[in-house]
Every structure is written in structure tokens, then in C-alpha cells.
Amino acid sequence: MTSALRAVLFVPGDRPDRIAKACASHADAVAVDLEDAVTEQAKERARISAVAAIGSAPPRAGLLLRVNPSDGPWFTADVAAAAEVLPRLVGVLLPKAEDPDEVRRLGDLLAAAERSAGLPVGRTAVLPIVETPRGVLAAPAVAAASDRVATLLFGTLDLAACLGVTPTVEGRELLHARSQVVLATAAAGLPGPIDGPHAALDDVDGLVRSSAAARDLGFRGRVVLHPRQIEPVQAAFSPSEAELDRARAILAAREAAGDAGAFRLADGTFVDRPVLLRAAALLGESLS
């Protein structure tokens, strides 16, 4: 999973009509959900519907499946369902991740499914969702549990419920937990994590402001719950023209500075290698 996951559109597994529409959207990834969006009574039906809908939908990049927690009664059957459509999936979302052994267990099941399907072993990513207090504290170990881990997702709503707080646009109530997850992914050498959703679907201003705050912390994207949230979130997690112009100016100044390890811009800003690395990353370039 090398492309940027700025907007990850979640869709209920028991709504095949919505799965087809989601797959036709401009979301960077689509996550078919067998967990929170599906009631206990509908779990079996959702699994069957999801497999059929994924199998019949036009192939698209970035298709994910969220299974139920590994310690619950539906996990094994969910992973078996994922195996049925594994060639179409790029990854599996693991909710309530609290233990690196859970990640490795899912990886072993996926390896067996890949061998059975004649697919390269290791091709299917695992994206653990950190959404409990234990999960936040274990995030470094979870992020480093397997080479399959592509990044972490931050489960805003579940964690807020565990802590008895109400998520706000400013996000101060979960700031420490968010920062822990960002540090965990960076320490594991992974791309920045994916933030949880902004549940107020009609609040575009709050969506944009909370997305900007998440990006400032080091998140690379977020979950969206409706197609109309895709474009604002993609814009919020993309560099602005001003940022790109600044990055180009920094790299141009580096060329002009020759062999100097550090130098100043015309406005007096001090530039050294970390600043250069950030500028190159914004432009998608490598720094020699």
C-alpha cells in the first residue's frame, strides 16, 4: 500500500448497494465494514453480502475489509470471507488492536489464504485500529508487530467512549492519545496514521478544521463516513500551493548554496538537512 490514504470511505457490509457506490467513488480507499456498522443480528448476512458485492464490483485500488475483533465469535468466519475475495483486497482492518500477537495471528491466517489463492505471501496489508486505552499504550508494539502492518488507524469514537469524553473539533480531549499513535507509527518506520471520522456529516467547517489539526499532528488521512466528506478531507491532507512553493524555494536555495551543509533563505530562515528532507517529501522527491 504505497499510495496516500487521505480519505478512507467506510461502508456497511450489509449494504451491497452502498458498497458498489463507494467503489465507484474518488476515495483513496474503501473499507467494507463487518464490525461497528453491522448489528449482531446481521453479522452473517453482512458477511455474505460483502463477499458478493466485493466480488461483483468493478476492481478498484485500495479496497479494505474490516473484520470483527480477534477475540470475538465472528473473527474466524470474517477472515475466511476475506480469503474468498483476497485478490481484490489490499488489506484487512483489525479492530480493537491491543496485542502484537493479534496482528501476527491475523498475518498467519492471511498467509495461509494467500498460499491457497496462489498470491504472493505478504501482499495483504494489516491495518490495526487503535481505539482502546490498552491499544494506545500498546501502539508501539502493535505497529512493529509485523511487516504486514501498513499503518495504524485511530479509533476516535470508541476511545472517547472508553474514556467518557466527547470528541470535539479542537481535539484536546484526545490529543495525548493521538500523539502516542503518531509516535508509534513513526518509530516503526511506517507512514503517518489514519485519523478517525468526523461524525457530524453536515459540519463541513468542523471536518476541515479537525482534519487540518490532525495533519498538523502527523496524521496522513482520515476515515470518512459519506462521499461528500471525501473532497474536503483530501484537500485538507494535501499540501497547499503555498507549501509546495516554499518547498521548491528551499530545494532551489540548496542548489545555489552548493556544498554548504546549512544555509539561510532570503527571509532569514535557517535551513539544514531535516528541513531539506521535509521539503523533498512534500514534493515527492528523494534527497541525495
Q: What is the CA radius of gyration of the chain?
A: 20
Sign of CA dihedral 203, 204, 207, 210: negative
Integer CA distances (angstroms), 203 to 168, 207, 220, 229, in order: 12, 6, 21, 10
CATH of the domain at 179: 3.20.20.60
Q: Are residues 210 and 269 in the same domain?
A: no
The pLDDT-based confidence of 59 (bands split at 50, 70, 90) is: confident
pLDDT over 70 at 1, yes or no = no
Q: What percent of the chain has pLDDT over 90?
A: 79
In a domain, 2, yes or no: no
Q: Are residues 263 and 173 in the same domain?
A: no
CB proximity list for 166: less than 8 A, separation 6 or greater: 160, 173
Q: Are residues 26 and 106 in the same domain?
A: yes
pLDDT over 60 at 2, yes or no = no
Instruction: Indicate the residue among 236, 252, 271 that finishes a domain.
Output: 236
For residue 127, list its beta bridge partners.
93
pLDDT score at 87: 95
In a domain, 162, yes or no: yes
Average the pLDDT over 84-101 and give the result.
97
Q: Are residues 188 and 263 in the same domain?
A: no
pLDDT score at 140: 98
Instruction: Indicate the residue among 200, 216, 236 that finishes a domain.
Output: 236
Q: Are residues 214 and 270 in the same domain?
A: no
15 neighbors 202 (Cβ within 8 angstroms): no
pLDDT over 70 at 177, yes or no = yes
Q: Are residues 177 and 76 in the same domain?
A: yes
Q: Are residues 120 and 260 in the same domain?
A: no
Q: Are residues 128 and 191 in the same domain?
A: yes
Average the pLDDT over 159-184 and give the result.
96
pLDDT over 90 at 199, yes or no = yes
pLDDT over 60 at 35, yes or no = yes
Helix, strand or coil, per DSSP, at residue 272: coil
Q: Are residues 56 and 93 in the same domain?
A: yes
In a domain, 264, yes or no: yes
Q: Are residues 82 and 168 in the same domain?
A: yes
pLDDT over 60 at 75, yes or no = yes
Lowest model confidence (mean pLDDT) among 35-49, 173-187, 261-275: 261-275
Q: Which residue has the higher pLDDT, 144 or 58?
A: 144
Q: Are residues 189 and 105 in the same domain?
A: yes
pLDDT in tens, 246-280: 878 788 777 777 767 787 887 878 888 888 888 88
What is the domain extent for residue 263? 241-282
pLDDT over 90 at 239, yes or no = no
Matching residue, cell 459540519: 203
Angle at alpha carbon of residue 114, lines to 112 and 116, rounded to 5°: 70
pLDDT over 90 at 245, yes or no = no
pLDDT over 70 at 284, yes or no = yes
pLDDT score at 188: 98
Q: How many domains does the chain have?
A: 2
Instruction: Indicate the residue among 201, 218, 236 that finishes a domain.
Output: 236
pLDDT score at 3: 63
The pLDDT-based confidence of 288 (bands split at 50, 70, 90) is: low
pLDDT score at 269: 84
In a domain, 288, yes or no: no
Q: Are residues 161 and 47 in the same domain?
A: yes
For residue 10, list its beta bridge partners.
31
